[in-house]
């Protein structure tokens, strides 16, 4: 080191503290924010939107009928309120940056989270495809069987530049209490399985998604999306539930008086 607070890192023009600060800024880069698109307008989508909007630019997107316009109207100038049962911080207040049905907002997204039923996944992939930037992380909650195959078919050649993350299930049990304005997280899973395509992008994808979700649920790596497809719990549980409700022993085949 040298006299007057300078070191080998310093110079006549930049004393040591200034030099270190400049090196720190260069190491950090210029990207310190994240833009997230949350797709859907149901229980899970509203909860994800409310959670992420507390810290990041969060855009809610729905292509279902006029759902986006209704959500925007329901919220107005107010903020969303999330109640988290059993948590020390039991109320979260936030507001999405935008609620829209315009697929071109995908050009802004670093992360896209689909919290919609699997029958709608293809529509979102197809409409977002022309606008998505290279390296966009697409997290599907849940992916269901063949989610990665559908993603690749809709994006075509562009799919190789993206990162697909298939989750086996939703992170929370949740319900909205006042549609578009208030929702409740009834419980948060301790861990959830997810697979990344391509697998080499696993560290980056998990780092960003775990950062978005928080400490829990802990995202556990599943080796590949084929495993997520074959272990799809919905394919096992849902048919059994439907059969139990509409089997010949429970239903005579005639129209019912009220909507089930």
pTM confidence score: 0.83
Q: How confident is the model at residue 4 (pLDDT cuts 50, 70, 90)?
A: very low
Report percent pLDDT > 90 for the chain: 80
Model pLDDT, residue 21: 60
**pLDDT tens track for 221-237:** 999 999 999 888 778 88
Work out the mean pLDDT of the chain and round it to a whole number: 90
Nearest-angstrom CA–CA distance, 103 and 181: 23
Lookup: tokens for 190: 């301790």
**Quick one: which of 32, 73, 84 has its CA closest to 56?**
32
Q: Read off the pLDDT of each residue in 185-212 and give the average, rounded to a whole number.
A: 96
**pLDDT tens track for 19-29:** 666 665 665 55
Q: State the catalytic residue, choosing from 19, 121, 131, 238.
A: 238
Judge whether 8 and 1 are in contact, CB under 8 Å: yes
Judge whether 168 and 193 are in contact, CB under 8 Å: yes
The yes-or-no verdict on residue 216 having pLDDT over 60 is: yes
Nearest-angstrom CA–CA distance, 230 and 146: 9
Check if 238 is active-site.
Answer: yes
32-36, 190-194, 221-225: the lowest-pLDDT one: 32-36
The yes-or-no verdict on residue 58 having pLDDT over 90 is: yes
Judge whether 158 and 131 are in contact, CB under 8 Å: no
The yes-or-no verdict on residue 260 having pLDDT over 80 is: yes
Half-sphere exposure of 23 (CA within 13 A, CB side): 9
Model pLDDT, residue 234: 79
**pLDDT tens track for 98-134:** 999 999 999 999 999 999 999 999 999 999 999 999 9
The yes-or-no verdict on residue 8 having pLDDT over 50 is: no
């Amino acid at each position: 080191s040298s006299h007057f607070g300078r070191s080998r890192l310093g110079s006549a023009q930049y004393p040591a503290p200034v030099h270190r600060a400049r090196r720190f800024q260069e190491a950090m880069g210029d990207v310190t924010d994240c833009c997230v698109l949350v797709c859907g307008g149901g229980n899970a989508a509203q909860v994800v939107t409310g959670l992420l909007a507390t810290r990041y630019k969060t855009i809610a997107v729905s292509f279902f009928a006029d759902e986006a316009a209704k959500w925007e109207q329901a919220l107005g100038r107010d903020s969303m309120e999330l109640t988290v049962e059993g948590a020390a911080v039991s109320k979260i207040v936030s507001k999405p940056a935008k609620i829209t049905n315009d697929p071109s907002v995908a050009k802004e997204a670093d992360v896209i989270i689909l919290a919609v039923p699997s029958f709608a996944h293809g529509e979102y992939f197809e409409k977002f495809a022309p606008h998505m930037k290279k390296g966009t992380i697409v997290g599907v909650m849940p992916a269901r069987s063949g989610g990665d195959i559908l993603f690749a078919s809709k994006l075509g050649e562009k799919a190789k530049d993206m990162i697909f993350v298939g989750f086996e299930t939703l992170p929370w049990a949740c319900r909205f209490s006042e549609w578009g304005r208030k929702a409740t997280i009834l419980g948060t899973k301790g861990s959830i399985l997810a697979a990344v395509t391509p697998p080499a992008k696993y560290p980056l994808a998990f780092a960003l998604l775990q950062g978005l979700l928080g400490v829990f649920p802990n995202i556990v790596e599943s080796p590949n999306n084929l495993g997520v497809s074959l272990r799809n719990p919905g394919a096992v549980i849902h048919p059994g539930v439907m059969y139990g409700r509409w089997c010949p022993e429970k239903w005579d085949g005639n129209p019912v008086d009220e909507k089930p």
